[in-house]
Amino acid sequence: MNKSLLFCLLSLAFPAQAGTLLPPGATDQSPSHLQSAPLPQGESERKPVSFAWALDPQADLEAQAPFLAESREFWALAEASEMQAGLAIDTTAAGAVIRISPAQGGRAVDPDQVRMFKNGSSIAEPQSFQRKANAAQLKAAGMDVPDGSAIVQLAKEQGQGRFQLQLPQAKGRYLVHVYEPDSAYVFKAQATRRSLLAGDTLEVAAGLQRGETRLAGGQVGGALVSPSGRSYPLSFRNGKAQLKVPAEAGTEPGLWEVQLSAGTAANGSSVQRDARTAVEVTRPTARLGGGYGFHAAALRFDLPLQVAAAGRYELRGTLYATGPDGVSRPVAQAHAANWFEPGQRGLGLAFGRGNVPTGFGAPFELRFLELKDQTRMGTLETRELALREGGAVAPVRPDPVRGRVSQR
């Protein structure tokens, strides 16, 4: 029998079952209220789309963790007078890599003009550098560096300590980036969530470590910076900071950047580290309605939405089915999107019986459910475990082999 006709007949035999979504978990995102928002400039796609594909049931799926920044580097903005006299740089390991890039009014840097001093004493060439390169050489090697930049790496024999970086012909300003690949001192920073809604509280944990040992004391500071450059200071206490994201945020295109710095004293010299990570900030323009309808024959979940701003919205989720061993495993993923005006709307995730492996069936789970505002490129709601559904259709069985007579 034609499979489409079979599904239609089964749908008539097994009408939709209504249910309620599980409450959001501790790591889930769920809007407490909705806000309207203007449409971005330009044309937006409005055509509805829905598709699904099978997954490997043996593959382990996990929710994506927030990015963990690990830094062995720091930046300094130096004036021409500082570069001419010798910019002081403390290193904690041999072989530090230093990049010098012209900033406001700065002239291109010739690596052959860079001079190094240690504790005030000049280091003669060629003992000062292990390697050096100009912008053209760096770009030819595939590095994306600003025009006029140069990189030098301190010779391993010079060890660590306090150095002075001199550029006798400096003019204007320069951005100096110091990277210590072999340093034991690492600055780790992580936001507790990858995405936030306007009005939510951003939480950031950050600390300086030597190896696996957390260093006491020192200073940690930073700011949350919007895509347009507006800065909101972060105040740290015991390695953690909290900041309420402005309620009017979420209309600017682009990610928000968390810019952090740390410093301490060790073995008579200073340790400096800078780190950056990014978070997505979205205005809460829509949310899940709280209920769902389950069509067992077609393996489709219909989810009502509350929409506060016109736009194109997307649902994506992963279907877990129970295998012959009684263990729930991922078997299919589905996406659906459509344009909606404000009001009570809905989207359906149709996984399709054909994407379910032989022997898998109810109970089902809908996991890693996400609601996105495609028009404003933001995540509105997430559920690591959205629902459990008993279903009403038996596990998928192998197709019978034609022309074969069964034997008893």
Long-range contacts of the stretch 60-68 (C-beta < 8 A, 24+): 61/318, 61/330, 61/367, 61/368, 63/27, 63/368, 63/384, 64/194, 66/190, 66/191, 66/192, 66/193, 66/194, 66/277, 67/190, 67/191, 67/194, 67/277, 67/278, 68/188, 68/189, 68/190
Average pLDDT in the 61-86 region? Answer: 94
Cα–Cα distance measured from residue 288 to residue 308, given in angstroms and rounded to the nearest whole number: 12
pTM (two decimals) = 0.83
Dihedrals φ, ψ of 231, to 5°? -115, 140
Cα–Cα distance measured from residue 346 to residue 348, given in angstroms and rounded to the nearest whole number: 7
Pairing of strands 269-282, 256-266: antiparallel
Q: How many CA atoms lie within 13 A of 137 on its CB side?
A: 11
| Confidence check: pLDDT of 23 > 80 | yes
pLDDT digits (tens, 9 = 90+) for 350-372: 999 999 999 999 999 999 999 99
| Confidence check: pLDDT of 73 > 80 | yes
pLDDT digits (tens, 9 = 90+) for 222-278: 999 999 899 999 999 999 999 999 888 877 778 999 999 999 988 777 899 999 999
The two structure tokens encoding residue 252: 């600017």
| Confidence check: pLDDT of 4 > 50 | no
What integer pLDDT is reported at residue 65 of this predicted model? 87
Cα–Cα distance measured from residue 251 to residue 40, given in angstroms and rounded to the nearest whole number: 8
Average pLDDT in the 141-153 region? Answer: 94
CB neighbour list of residue 390: distance below 8 Å, 6 or more residues apart: 362, 363, 364
Strand segments (E) across 267-342: 269-282, 286-288, 291-295, 300-307, 311-322, 328-340
pLDDT digits (tens, 9 = 90+) for 202-214: 999 999 999 989 9
The two structure tokens encoding residue 204: 């950031």
In the structure, what pLDDT confidence band is assigned to residue 9 with cuts at 50, 70 and 90?
very low
What integer pLDDT is reported at residue 42 of this predicted model? 82
What integer pLDDT is reported at residue 64 of this predicted model? 86
Given CA atoms 323, 325, 327, 330 in this order, what sign does their dihedral have?
negative
In the structure, what pLDDT confidence band is assigned to residue 404 with cuts at 50, 70 and 90?
very low
pLDDT digits (tens, 9 = 90+) for 90-140: 999 999 999 999 999 999 999 999 999 998 899 988 889 999 999 999 999
What integer pLDDT is reported at residue 408 of this predicted model? 32
Least confident residue range of 185-189, 295-299, 322-326, 397-401: 397-401
Mean pLDDT of all residues belonging to the chain: 90
Identity at 36, one-letter amino acid code: S
The neighbouring-strand residues paired with 400 are none
What integer pLDDT is reported at residue 218 of this predicted model? 84
Least confident residue range of 291-300, 339-348, 393-402: 393-402
Peptide bond into 253 cis (omega under 30): no
Cα–Cα distance measured from residue 175 to residue 318, given in angstroms and rounded to the nearest whole number: 46
What integer pLDDT is reported at residue 247 of this predicted model? 83
Share of the chain above pLDDT 90, in %: 77
Higher pLDDT, 313 or 13: 313
Rounded to 10 degrees, the C-alpha dihedral 279/282/286/288 comes to: 10
Cα–Cα distance measured from residue 399 to residue 408, given in angstroms and rounded to the nearest whole number: 19
Dihedrals φ, ψ of 257, to 5°? -110, 135
What integer pLDDT is reported at residue 10 of this predicted model? 44
